[in-house]
Structure 1
Amino acid sequence: MADFVTSTHRTKWIFTPQDIKHKYKVANHRAKQALEKYGTTRMEVDIDGSFSYAESQNDAKDSAEKRPKPLKVEEEQLLRAFYEFKIQDVCDAFKFPRKIQATALIYFKRFYLQWSVMEHHPKDIMLTCIYAACKAEENHVSAEELGKGIGQDHHVILNNEMLVFQSLGFDLIVYAPYRALEGFISDLEEFCGAKDEDQLVALKGSLDTARIEADKIMRSDGPLLFPPGQLALTALHRANAAHSIFDFERSQSLFSFGQNPQLSLTF
């Protein structure tokens, strides 16, 4: 089984907040420079992953007032957030497992560390990331089926596939917090001595809420900042705030060291 500690996810794709802000600014600045030089920021992508500007508009230099207005970094963030919601919506519509949804989101986030939304339309990249995630997680869905299911041209998916892989550095194995969540709940069930029906139902409810909280976290910069175990603990902490079935502060020694902190469930 793959190990997060030795993975490219940990060694290459965990950043500081300053790193992330810098990458967004660099991509935004490059797109603005392209707009000044070519009169456009949008790129056309060939199926081999090569790309070029959609249309050279050198005469746009003579009519700057006709140029489209570039997006600010903050406006790009809003667009990315919108399409991250869409990734979850599409995955829900196809009834994909959460792992596929999480993988697609991580691919999408990594892609836009390299590129501006002004250079590659996030709708196209969103679909390609879902398609790539299905492949990586061995839940193959054809590009035709995916495109048809949401009324989009599947050729856009295929054309952008190699570009997405190249932008990810072909690092396709990623880690999400959901498996860690299930492990934490299993440990709590064992060490807290949850045996009767009410306790088991309470723990299941906490896990369901924690999964929803993890879905929210996956739309933040969290997956680019923290390992999946920490994301899972955050989701569990939020879930416990709603259910209050165990002492979360005392339970952290269980999660960190695998020891029994003599927990008890509260009802």
Structure 2
Amino acid sequence: MADFQTSTHRSRWIFSPQELLEKREAANQRAAKSLEQFGVTRLEVHLDGSVSYVEPILDQKDNAERSLPKPLNCEEEQHMRIFYEQKIQEVCLAFKFPHKIQATAIMYFKRFYLQWSVMEHHPKHIMLTCIYASCKVEENHVSAEELGKGIQQDHQIILNNEMVVYQSLGFDLIVYAPYRSVEGFNEDMQEFCHARDEEQEKFKNFLQTANAEVDRIMLTDAPLLYPPGQLSLASLHRANEVHGVLDFERYLNILLSRQHSAYSTSQLFESLKSIDTLVGKLNIPTAKDMRHIDRKLKSCWDPSSQDENKKREKRSKHKSKRTASEMQGARA
């Protein structure tokens, strides 16, 4: 982590909460405006990374006669992002990728959607490309064909989106993940506690819990708000509440004095508390939760699907009424 202070990660990809809000609102509003103007939000992606709006599918007469689909709001976009960030974790686990690849892929995904709305680029496609790019950057190369085959997706989607992902990241591909520093802090804590051999199992469990906490932290906005060292300390602090391996405040006092840090212990604890609050508010949507949002997104990409959705809902309501009538008839 010695190079983090001079990295583009620190200088270009750590934001304030207000900055994140403004970037996401701007992307959402741009997509909503495209829907109003062109009747569709989907962007065509070219191999050189350039993008273009699809041909308008509705003229002014169509707009007057036919109601446009509703765009996703910012909260729905957030649910969509979190859902696919968790999918990144699931795919990386299935391929047995190291934590570093998972964290880098999620950071690429988060950064990409500071520039774009999920209505413009489908997160399923970008998710796969971020994993692929992460594998290449972290020198754990997996071919697009192998990755696509492993999760039953067309590998060409991965390749088609590769350049637009790199460009959206400003080619800032080096990511500092919290997992490595969690391991370093864990070893340092063992020395701090003068851990005996019989206590190794306790610290092993402590580390596993801390890594699980990092997994949850990575699904929040914390990686865009705080440096990785603070993310790792926040995960260890949460793990310590479970295992109670040391006096955490005393450890932080000694750590900060040893590093001649500009932070005070109280300031650092405030940051850890803020990260903890973000984790506490984390709500990971289920596939069932996503159905309504998926339908809205599909309508934004292909407004003709809105008519199909309405027909499906109408058939469903008709079926429910018919079933209720049949039940009442059976009782009679």
In the alignment, is residue 166 of structure 1 matched against residue 167 of structure 2? yes
Residue identity matched to 1:233: L
Cα distance, 1:61 vs structure 2: 5.7
Q: Given that residues 107 and 223 in structure 2 are in contact (C-alpha distance below 8 angstroms), is that contact kept between their aligned partners in structure 1?
A: yes
Higher share in helix: 2
Q: Secondary structure, in 3 states, of the residue corresponding to 2:21? A: helix
Match of residue 264 from structure 1: none
- Separation in 2 of the partners of 1:247 and 1:169? 42
In the alignment, is residue 10 of structure 1 matched against residue 1 of structure 2? no
Match of residue 156 from structure 1: 157
Match of residue 102 from structure 2: 101
In the alignment, is residue 42 of structure 1 matched against residue 42 of structure 2? yes
Match of residue 20 from structure 1: 20
Match of residue 54 from structure 1: 54
Residue identity matched to 2:159: L
Q: Given that residues 128 and 157 in structure 1 are in contact (C-alpha distance below 8 angstroms), is that contact kept between their aligned partners in structure 2?
A: yes
- Separation in 2 of the partners of 1:206 and 1:150? 32
Residue identity matched to 2:77: E
Q: Given that residues 42 and 119 in structure 2 are in contact (C-alpha distance below 8 angstroms), is that contact kept between their aligned partners in structure 1?
A: yes
- Separation in 2 of the partners of 1:212 and 1:127? 22
Match of residue 286 from structure 2: none
- Separation in 2 of the partners of 1:155 and 1:43? 16
In the alignment, is residue 212 of structure 1 matched against residue 212 of structure 2? yes
Cα distance, 1:94 vs structure 2: 0.4
Q: Given that residues 46 and 160 in structure 2 are in contact (C-alpha distance below 8 angstroms), is that contact kept between their aligned partners in structure 1?
A: yes
- Separation in 2 of the partners of 1:47 and 1:221? 30
Q: Secondary structure, in 3 states, of the residue corresponding to 2:52? A: strand
Cα distance, 1:54 vs structure 2: 3.2
- Separation in 2 of the partners of 1:66 and 1:54? 19
In the alignment, is residue 252 of structure 1 matched against residue 252 of structure 2? yes
Cα distance, 1:53 vs structure 2: 1.9
Match of residue 146 from structure 2: 145
Match of residue 225 from structure 1: 225
- Separation in 1 of the partners of 2:44 and 2:80? 20
Runs of 4+ with >6 A deviation: none
- Separation in 1 of the partners of 2:82 and 2:225? 16
Q: Deviations over 1:47-104 (max 9, x none)?
A: 1111112342242663354422100000100000100110000000100000000000
- Separation in 1 of the partners of 2:126 and 2:31? 17
Cα distance, 1:203 vs structure 2: 1.1
Match of residue 262 from structure 1: none
Q: TM-score, normalised by structure 2?
A: 0.75
Cα distance, 1:188 vs structure 2: 1.1
Residue identity matched to 2:231: L
Give unmatched runs, 5+ long, in structure 1.
260-267
- Shift of the 2–135 alpha-carbon distance from structure 1 to 2, 3 Å rule, reads farther
- Separation in 2 of the partners of 1:147 and 1:257? 49
Q: Secondary structure, in 3 states, of the residue corresponding to 1:52? A: strand
In the alignment, is residue 135 of structure 1 matched against residue 136 of structure 2? yes
- Separation in 2 of the partners of 1:185 and 1:152? 39
Q: Deviations over 1:9-46 (max 9, x none)?
A: 00000000000000000000000111111111011111
Q: Given that residues 24 and 116 in structure 1 are in contact (C-alpha distance below 8 angstroms), is that contact kept between their aligned partners in structure 2?
A: yes
Q: Given that residues 36 and 61 in structure 1 are in contact (C-alpha distance below 8 angstroms), is that contact kept between their aligned partners in structure 2?
A: no
- Shift of the 60–243 alpha-carbon distance from structure 1 to 2, 3 Å rule, reads farther
Match of residue 84 from structure 2: 83
Q: Secondary structure, in 3 states, of the residue corresponding to 2:173? A: coil
Q: Secondary structure, in 3 states, of the residue corresponding to 1:209? A: helix
Q: Secondary structure, in 3 states, of the residue corresponding to 2:44? A: strand
Residue identity matched to 1:255: L
Choose 101-110 or 241-250, whichever is displaced more: 241-250
Match of residue 176 from structure 2: 175
Report which of the two structures shows the higher radius of gyration computed on alpha carbons: 2
